[in-house]
């Protein structure tokens, strides 16, 4: 096993374990999406899209949960490490900062699996949601691809949080607009045309499209490829910004609380 | 050959004041610090709170970039080659922060062993060895949130040694520990020097520096005001004498008046339960007991004693002299 992969794997397991020990984080990832899914269920049930529309809504609600996990997890993780005094220890290790932060952000996205699982289970038990997906294997690929690409988007977000001690306040601003603009809650066709370019550069747009196509029918390959491509772009941006911000943070002394 | 070298290190912090009209204020935390530490040496950086000890250590361990000056560790520049420096050093900050509290001590060590590139085959044995060294064997699988302050501190030490670094930086490692815990940790530090590690220790405990360090630099207000072996520093004040007076409620003006007496080198007051202990260090050729007591008229005076100067007196004289 190459050293980089070992580092990623150990870091991912460590951070998933750490987040799983947080009752608040897990409850948040599990319970909130159930509310979204329930509201969406009644919206769709009263509209013209019962049946598969319910799966469509539940998957969207689950993805909303993944995005929330990434947003609060990736941002909160850095700030929380600063509060806990571990940020200076993880930044002071020999590997590049990206090798340390990437497993953290992918771990926060992975915790979003609880969201997908809880919404589907809730839909199945309460509303009798059909879970016979059209392309089960592609569903798994799309889900993993979405989680990784959202984790990479979290990497870009977290780089700002290394530098700015109060940047986590940005998290609150980014949650609901991204739900809307990426089609997690409502169809993108209902949004004005100028929002399209914003949708296209955000991985959740393609992630949810791939997941829905795999579950309900359609070609999930193109959205999955888009997810992967965006993930690579986020990785490049994150690599540059983390390196730059690390030096800035060492210059401006923002690694520790003062 | 010097293993750690600092040349005229300076560090300025910028802080902001005001809400609407924000003003930038610059604080010069370290003002031209220079020193060199030889291989296998235990070098102490001794100074009061806010003297610049932690800032100096953070520049040397690559967590802060100096505003001016240069420093290198094992021949690597701390600004240009931070990763090469990080591979070869370990560091421990005092206090109980800095561990992943929801996870066990073992999980914490395993994670950092990976980050420091400890080969997988030796990780387990190395962790076991360090748990034994710091006395956490048997408690390693408990969540660290249940650890005492001393246990967390010992876990920090174990983490700092995972990759068997050549140079170890210890920033006030015994701060807040109970006397037994502090003594155990000092014993552990002693074993590191026996193993040939080069150590930079910051502390404001004089007896700790005296007991552990081969050489000490006294830092005050961001500048090194004296450097030498504990014996050399003591000898700077060895010719004087210290008069200690137990008093109850001594006004600040009286302390200032005592400072201005001819032959007085330094004056300080320590709080001890209800009483205060006034210490006046004087030149050996003057006898000022009567004059001191004369100035204490109006205060309740208890026991009066005389003693030889200690390293603490040397330290206070140096810091006050600044």
Both B181 and B56 in one domain: the answer is yes
- Both B109 and B17 in one domain: the answer is yes
- Do B103 and A89 count as a contact with CB atoms less than 8 A apart? no
Asked if residues B182 and B207 have their Cβ atoms less than 8 Å apart, the reply is no
Query: Of the candidates B229, B259, B294, which is a domain's last residue?
Result: B229
**Count of structural domains within chain B:** 2
Cross-chain CB nearest to B86 (options A14, A17, A92): A92
From chain A, pick out residues whose CB is under 8 angstroms from the CB of B93. Answer: 85, 88
Which of B29, B80, B96, B102 is the best substitution to test chain A (most A C-beta atoms within 10 A)? B102
Q: Do B186 and B259 sit in the same domain of this protein?
A: no
> In this complex, is the C-beta atom of A89 within 8 Å of any C-beta atom belonging to chain B?
yes
Distance from the Cα of A10 to chain B's closest Cα (Å) equals 7
Dist. CA B127–CA B99, nearest whole Å: 16
Q: Return the structure tokens found at B249.
A: 């409620």
Q: Are residues B198 and B269 in the same domain?
A: no
CB pairs under 8 A between A and B: 79
Cα gap A223→A218, rounded to integer Å: 11
- Asked if B300 contacts B247 with a C-beta cutoff of 8 angstroms, the reply is yes
d(CA A231, CA B80): 31
Render each residue's pLDDT in chain A as its tens digit; 258 residues: 577 888 899 999 999 999 888 888 788 888 888 888 888 778 777 766 555 677 788 888 888 888 888 888 887 777 788 888 898 898 889 998 888 889 999 998 898 888 888 888 888 888 887 778 888 899 999 999 999 999 999 888 887 766 666 666 677 788 888 888 888 877 888 888 898 999 999 999 999 999 999 988 888 999 999 999 999 999 999 888 888 888 887 887 766 654
* d(C-alpha A91, C-alpha A83), whole Å: 14
Residue B22: CA count within 13 A, CB half-sphere: 5
**Pair B154, B208 in one domain:** yes
The verdict on A26 touching B (C-beta cutoff 8 Å) is: no
Contact assessment for residue A69 and residue A112, using Cβ atoms and an 8 Å cutoff = yes
- Enumerate the domain spans of chain A: 3-252
Of A7, A22, A250, the CB nearest to B63: A250
Of B63, B100, B117, the CB nearest to A255: B63
The residue of chain A with its CA nearest to that of B83 is A94
Instruction: Decide which of B175, B201, B229 is a domain's last residue.
Output: B229
Q: Using a CB–CB cutoff of 8 Å, tell me whether A85 touches chain B.
A: yes
Contact at CB, B102 and A22, closer than 8 angstroms: yes
B65–A86 C-beta distance less than 8 A: no
Give the nearest chain B residue to A258 (CA atoms): B15
Interface residue A250 vs chain B (CB under 8 A): yes
Give the pLDDT confidence score for residue A131 in this predicted structure: 78
Q: What is the pTM of this model?
A: 0.82
Same domain assignment for residues B204 and B242: no
Identify which of A21, A84, A93 has the shortest CB distance to residue B115. A93
Enumerate the residues of chain B whose CB falls inside 8 A of the CB of residue A95.
83, 115, 117
Best A3, A92, A244, A257 member to test B by mutation, with max B CBs in 10 Å, is A92
Tell the burial category of A188 from Cβ atoms under 10 Å away from its Cβ (0-12, 13-18, 19+).
middle
Instruction: Please list the rounded mean pLDDT of every run of 10 residues in chain B (322 residues).
Output: 90 79 82 92 88 92 93 94 93 86 93 92 92 88 90 90 93 82 83 88 84 89 87 72 85 86 84 82 82 83 82 73 57
User: A90, B14: Cβ pair inside 8 Å?
Assistant: no
Among A7, A85, A92, beta carbon nearest to B114? A7
The whole-angstrom distance between B295's CA and the closest CA on chain A is 41
Closest to B111 (Cβ–Cβ): which among A10, A94, A95?
A10
Q: Are residues B182 and B249 in the same domain?
A: no
Query: CA of B179 to nearest chain A CA: how many angstroms apart?
Result: 24
Our CA-based measurement puts residue B116 at a distance from the nearest CA of chain A, in whole angstroms, of 6
B98 to A89: CB separation less than 8 angstroms, yes or no:
yes
CATH number at residue B247: 3.30.70.260
Between B63, B100, B114, which is nearest A86 by CB?
A: B100
CA distance A58 to chain B (A): 32
Contacts of B231 (CB under 8 A, 6+ apart): none
Task: Please report the pLDDT score of residue A256 as a whole number.
Answer: 65
**CATH code of the domain containing B99:** 3.40.50.300
CB contacts of A96 in chain B (<8 Å) are 83
Residue B317 · residue B239 · CB < 8 Å: no
A249: nearest CA partner in chain B: B64
Runs of H (alpha helix) within chain B:
53-60, 82-88, 105-115, 120-134, 149-161, 179-194, 206-212, 230-235, 252-259, 289-295, 311-321
Domain boundary (B229, B251, B272) is at: B229
- Tokens representing B141 are 């699988």
B196 in the same domain as B114 = yes
Residues B244 and B219 in one domain: no
Residue B44: domain span: 2-229
A252 vs B: CB within 8 A = yes
The shortest CB-CB distance from A92 to any of B62, B65, B114 is to B62
Q: What's the confidence (pLDDT) of residue B55?
A: 92
Contact check, Cβ <8 Å, A21/B87 = no
Would you put residue A14 in left (φ > 0), alpha (ψ -120 to 50) or beta? alpha
If you measure CA to CA, which chain B residue comes closest to A253?
A: B64
Q: Which of B83, B98, B116 sits opposite A85 (nearest CB)?
A: B98
Find, in chain B, the residue whose alpha carbon is nearest to that of A17.
B103
How far CA A16 is from CA of A91, A121, B107, B169, B228, in Å, comes to: 19, 22, 12, 31, 50
């Amino acid at each position: 096993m190459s050293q980089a992969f070992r580092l990623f794997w150990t870091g991912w397991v460590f951070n998933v374990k750490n987040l799983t020990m947080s009752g608040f984080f897990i409850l948040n990832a599990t319970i909130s999406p159930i509310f979204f899914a329930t509201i969406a269920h009644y919206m769709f049930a009263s509209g013209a899209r019962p049946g598969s529309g319910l799966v469509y809504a539940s998957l969207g609600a689950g993805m909303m949960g993944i995005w929330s996990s990434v947003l609060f997890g990736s941002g909160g993780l850095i700030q929380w490490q600063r509060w806990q005094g571990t940020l200076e220890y993880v930044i002071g290790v020999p590997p590049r900062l990206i090798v340390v932060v990437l497993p953290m952000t992918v771990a926060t996205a992975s915790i979003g699996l609880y969201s997908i699982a809880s919404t589907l289970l809730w839909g199945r038990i309460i509303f009798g949601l059909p879970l016979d997906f059209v392309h089960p294997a592609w569903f798994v690929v799309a889900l993993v691809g979405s989680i990784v690409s959202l984790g990479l988007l979290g990497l870009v977000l977290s780089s700002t949080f290394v530098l700015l001690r109060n940047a986590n306040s940005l998290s609150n601003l980014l949650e609901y607009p991204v739900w809307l603009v990426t089609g997690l809650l409502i169809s993108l066709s209902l949004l004005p045309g100028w929002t399209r370019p914003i949708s296209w550069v955000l991985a959740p747009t393609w992630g949810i499209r791939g997941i829905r196509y795999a579950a309900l029918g359609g070609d999930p390959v193109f959205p999955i490829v888009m997810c992967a491509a965006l993930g690579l772009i986020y990785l490049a941006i994150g690599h540059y910004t983390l390196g730059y911000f690390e030096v800035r943070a060492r210059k401006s002394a923002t690694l520790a609380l003062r | 050959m010097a293993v750690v070298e600092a040349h005229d290190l300076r560090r300025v912090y910028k802080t902001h004041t005001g809400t609407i009209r924000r003003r930038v204020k610059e604080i010069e935390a370290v003002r031209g610090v220079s020193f060199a530490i030889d291989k296998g040496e235990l070098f102490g950086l001794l100074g009061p709170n806010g003297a610049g000890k932690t800032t100096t250590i953070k520049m040397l361990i690559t967590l802060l970039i100096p505003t001016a000056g240069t420093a290198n560790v094992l021949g690597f520049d701390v600004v240009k080659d931070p990763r090469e420096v990080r591979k070869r050093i370990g560091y421990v900050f005092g206090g109980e922060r800095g561990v992943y509290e929801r996870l066990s001590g073992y999980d914490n060590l395993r994670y950092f062993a990976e980050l420091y590139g400890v080969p997988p085959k030796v990780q387990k044995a190395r962790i076991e060895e360090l748990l034994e060294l710091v006395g956490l064997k048997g408690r390693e699988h408990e969540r660290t949130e249940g650890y005492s302050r001393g246990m967390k501190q010992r876990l920090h030490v174990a983490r700092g040694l995972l990759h068997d670094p050549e140079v170890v930086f210890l920033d006030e490692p015994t701060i807040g520990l109970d006397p037994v815990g502090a003594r155990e940790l000092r014993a552990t530090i002693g074993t590191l020097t026996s193993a040939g590690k080069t150590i930079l220790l910051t502390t404001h405990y004089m007896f700790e520096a005296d007991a552990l360090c081969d050489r000490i630099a006294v830092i005050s207000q961001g500048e090194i005001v004296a450097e030498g072996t504990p014996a050399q520093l003591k000898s700077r004040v060895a010719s004087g004498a210290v008069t200690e007076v137990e008093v109850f409620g001594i006004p600040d003006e009286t302390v200032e008046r005592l400072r201005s007496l001819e032959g007085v080198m330094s004056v300080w007051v320590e709080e001890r339960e209800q009483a205060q202990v006034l210490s006046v260090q004087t030149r050996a050729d003057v006898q000022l007991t009567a004059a001191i007591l004369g100035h204490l008229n109006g205060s309740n005076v208890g026991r009066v004693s005389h003693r030889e100067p200690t390293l603490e007196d040397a330290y206070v004289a140096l810091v006050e002299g600044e």
